[in-house]
A = this chain, B = another copy of it.
Amino acid sequence: MGNRPDRDRLVELRRELHRHPEPAWREFWTTARIVDELEAIGVDELYVGPEALAEGERMAVPDDEELARWFDRAREAGAREDVLERLEGGYTGAVAVVERGEGPTVALRVDIDGLQREESTDDDHVPAAEGFRSETGAMHACGHDAHATIGLGVLEAVKASDFRGTLKVFFQPGEEMIAGGKPMAKSGHLDDVDYLFATHVGLDHPTGEVVAGVDGFLAVSHFRAEFAGEPAHAGGKPNDGRNAVQAMATAVNELYGIPRHEDGATRVNAGKVGGGTATNIIPEQAFIEGEVRGETTELKDYMKERAGEVVEGAAATHGCEVDRTAVGEAPSAESDEALVDVVQGVATETPGVENPIRRDELGGSEDATFLMREVQRNGGLAAYVGVGTDHPGGHHTATFDVDEETLPIAVDVLSESVLAVADERP
C-alpha cells in the first residue's frame, strides 16, 4: 500500500490548472506547468511536445495566428520559456517515465485540454466564488484540470511506493476535439506497455462511486464539409447562382436520414452549420461541422461512408462542389476483464469509495480508445476507470465543477491499481 495522497496540494494544483484552460494544441501554459511539476517530483525520462507525438497524426490543428495568440498568452501568464520553445507549432502534451527495475510497464493516460466556452460567473459556481475561475476565455468544463492533477498525483504516489517495473504517464492534449489520442497512441511510447489505465471523473456518477470498466464508447468521426457554389444577385439573376446553402440544407436533411443499422447503435449530427453572406446574394459558401458515431468502429465506418455519399450527392443536386475533411476520429474500445477485476478489487478497499460499480456504459466518445486499442493490439491489457464526482452542472456546461474530494480517491484507486498489476500480473 502506498502513502495517502496530499489532498491540499492536489486541490491547489487543480485550481491553478483550472484558471488556465487551453483548447486542443494550445495547451502551452498547461504543458509547461505539468513539466514544472514533473521535474519537481523527479522522473527518469520526460518526453515533451513533438517527442510525445507521432509525426503527421495531429488533427484539427488551428491556424498559425490562433496558435500564436495562445502561445503569447501562455508566455504572458508566466509559462517557462524553455518548455514553450519545445512546444512551438502546437505540439503540446508530455509523457513522463518512472523506472523502478524489473517488472511490467504500466501506463496511465490523462487528458489536459479545456473547452472553448465561457465559464459561469455565478456566485453559486465555486470557481467564481473562490477566485479560480478561468482567465483565458476557455473553460475546464469537463474536468481535465482534475485529470492532469490526478496524473501527477499517481506518478508521485507510485514513485514513493515499492513499485517494481516502469510507469508511464501520458498527459494527452486535444481530447475534446478527439484530435490528440491518435498521435500519442502512434508515438511509440506505448509499444512496451503491458497495462494501460485511462480515467475520467464524473460521467453522472457521484463522489464515492468508482466504475471499474467504463464501456460503450461510440466510435466517432468528426468532419467538416465545405460547399462551394456560385454567387448571384437573388433578385436580378437567381439562375446564375449555384446555391451552396441549398446544397448544405439538402445534406443536413439527408444525413439524419441515413438508415439505421441492424448491428447496433449509430449516430449522426450536423452540429454546426452556416452559409451565405447577405439576404440578396445567392449563397456561394456553406459548411457543416458534423459527426457520425457507431457502437463499433465498423458501424462508425458505415455511417462515415454513407455520410460521404449524402454530402457528395447533395452538392451535385445543386451544382455545387464539396470538400469534406475528417477533423477528428476515435474508435470504440472495451475494457479487459482482468484489469476490471483488479480495479474493482482495489476500489472495494479504497477509503472514500462507497460504491464500486462493475462496468457501465458511456454512450459518448473519447479518444483514449486509440491508446487502449494500441495496447491491446500489442497483447497488453487496458481498462477505463470512472471516478465519480458530484458535479453541479453537466459536463460541458458553464457551471460544471468537480468535488475536490474526488482527487485523492482517484489517485488512490489508480496508484493502487498500478501497484496491484505490478505485483499480481492479472
Contacts and interface: CB of A to CB of B under 8 A. Distances in A.
Interface of A: 218, 220, 222, 233-241, 243, 245-246, 248-250, 252-254, 256-257, 259-283, 286, 289-291, 293, 302, 306, 309-310, 312-319, 362-365, 396
A253 B246 contact: yes
Given A235-B218, A281-B271, A291-B234, A260 B260 contact: yes
B252 A256 contact: no
Nearest to A203: B236
Contact of A235 (B248, B254, B282, B293): B293
A338 B310 CA distance: 48
Nearest to A290: B279
A316 B318 contact: no
Nearest to A241: B259
A279 B283 contact: no
A364 B317 CA distance: 27
A410 to B, nearest CB: 22
B280 A261 contact: no
A254 B259 contact: no
A362 to B, nearest CB: 8
Contacts of A268: 260
A246 B236 contact: no
B235 A365 contact: yes
B302 A273 contact: no
Given A254-B253, A272-B278, A267 B235 contact: yes
A272 B279 contact: yes
Contact of A270 (B260, B276, B362): B276
A314 B234 CA distance: 22
Instruction: Give the most central of A220, A246, A315: most B CB within 10 Å.
Output: A246
Nearest to A313: B317
